[in-house]
Amino acid sequence: MPSGKGSQGTLLVTLRGPDRPGLAARLFEAMAALDLSVLDVEQVQVHGQLLLCVEVAPAGVGMPIPGEVERVQGALGAAIGRLDRRLELTVSELGRLPSGAEEDVGRRHLVTVLAPSLGPTALAGVFGQVASAGGNVDRVVRLSTYPVVSYELSVSGAEAGRLRRELAVTAARLQVDVAVQRAGLHRRAKHLIVLDADSTLLQGEVIDAVAARAGCAAEVAAVTARAMAGELDFARAMDERLSLLAGLDQSVLDEVRDDLRLTPGARTLIRTLQHLGYVTALVSGGFEQVLGPVVERLGIDHLAANRLEVAGGKLTGRLEGELVDRAGKAAALRRFARLAGVPLSRTIAVGDGANDLDMLAAAGLGIAFNAKPVVRDAADAALSVPYLDAILFLLGISRPEIEAVGDA
């Protein structure tokens, strides 16, 4: 909404009522006839109902003129009333912002809230917490109504850390997802997005699928459980699981790849980001032989994954090259950013497990996707819905924009 940031003597013109073609044009024509300068404009249209706010000032005037509000109200009201008597026009004088308020207005963040459904209780909680954190909601944009409902709030005046902490508590209580990001032109610049593979881009775990075909699913799962309990580090757990796969025919990897299932929304996410000029990458503690064709099919730009050693058409139970583990994922993100010429502040990482934590921390925006609590707590934003393309809403991309890419 207009901020009242001009000098004393500026006026706020508010127009409400049924929208129609040419309405705004007629209003500005009437303003021109009054020799008014336009300082700020904000317009919202909801189901055919218009709210148009314009901050104006008499040309060359810095102080109030007696009777100016009444003069402008009468002239603009008459001009608009001839178009539609149902329209309501008001004019009021704006004063100066309180001391320090201009600095607060310049401190802007974007708060995205999404859930399968968003009722008044959830919205009241989010808006109330923004106010409690010292922020003001300047604008609200609905991004989507399916597969989830999402809104983007432009918030001024709040400190980012406090806003994020307090909204996280409210989001958990209300069972909604909330993300806080810095507003600014950086959102329009070139970005890199790095996705984890297992249980993020893909449903399930690649190594579990290979183990199932090798007849050692239970043994591999037991090693994984020990690693998750902190009894084994990633490297040792990988060695133990790979040893169970030794002697398996490499053709099994083709079978696993053919049976892979993408997470719902994965194709839409990748297609939309590529259309917008994003550089895309996949990182995984899984296997290059399985994931390489997936990357090629989706047109993903980069891949970092472990490569299984094969001899005589059989898996040896060892890896070739460096291990892609928790540190390796973060290193891959930095490497891909350098290759793309993108600063880390414009990188996005998405993952679900503890071995994604370093990558999420290194990225400009770390997103936990249906993640374990430790990952959700550490990430900048968390999604609990099962649709990977919900990430687009966190980036301010609306459902109509996504559909327009699909139709292109």
Q: Does domain 192-205+259-407 have CATH number 3.40.50.1000?
A: yes
Q: Does domain 11-93 have CATH number 3.40.50.1970?
A: no
Which among 35, 138, 177, 198 is annotated as catalytic? 198
∠89-3-74 over CA atoms, to 5°? 25
Residue reference for tokens 């974007």: 110
Angle between helix axes 234-245 and 206-214 (nearest 10 degrees) is 30
- Ordered by start, the domain boundaries in the chain are 11-93, 103-183, 192-205+259-407
Burial class of residue 230 (count of CB atoms within 10 Å of its CB; 0-12, 13-18, 19+): exposed
Answer yes or no: is pLDDT of 108 > 50: yes
Query: Which residue has better confidence, 380 or 188?
Result: 380
With contact defined as beta carbons under 8 Å apart, do 314 and 343 qualify? no
In this prediction, residue 224 carries a pLDDT of 80
Same fold, 11-93 and 192-205+259-407: no
Over range 114-122, report the average pLDDT.
94
In this prediction, residue 64 carries a pLDDT of 53
DSSP string, 253-312: HHHHHHH--BPTTHHHHHHHHHHTT-EEEEEEEEEHHHHHHHHHHHT-SEEEEEEEEEET
Give the integer Cα–Cα distance in Å for 337 and 50.
Answer: 44
Which among 196, 325, 380, 389 is annotated as catalytic? 196
Q: Is 325 noted as a catalytic residue in this protein?
A: no
Instruction: Report the candidate in 256, 332, 330 with the shortest Cα–Cα distance to residue 300.
Output: 332
Q: Is 352 noted as a catalytic residue in this protein?
A: no
pLDDT digits (tens, 9 = 90+) for 274-317: 999 999 999 999 999 999 999 999 999 999 999 999 999 999 99
Q: Does domain 103-183 have CATH number 1.10.540.10?
A: no
> In one letter, which amino acid is 96?
R
CA atoms within 13 A on the CB side of 235: 4
Give the integer Cα–Cα distance in Å for 92 and 86.
Answer: 20
Neighbours of 347 (CB within 10 A): 24
pLDDT digits (tens, 9 = 90+) for 150-194: 999 999 989 988 999 999 999 999 999 999 998 887 777 889 999
With contact defined as beta carbons under 8 Å apart, do 77 and 33 qualify? no
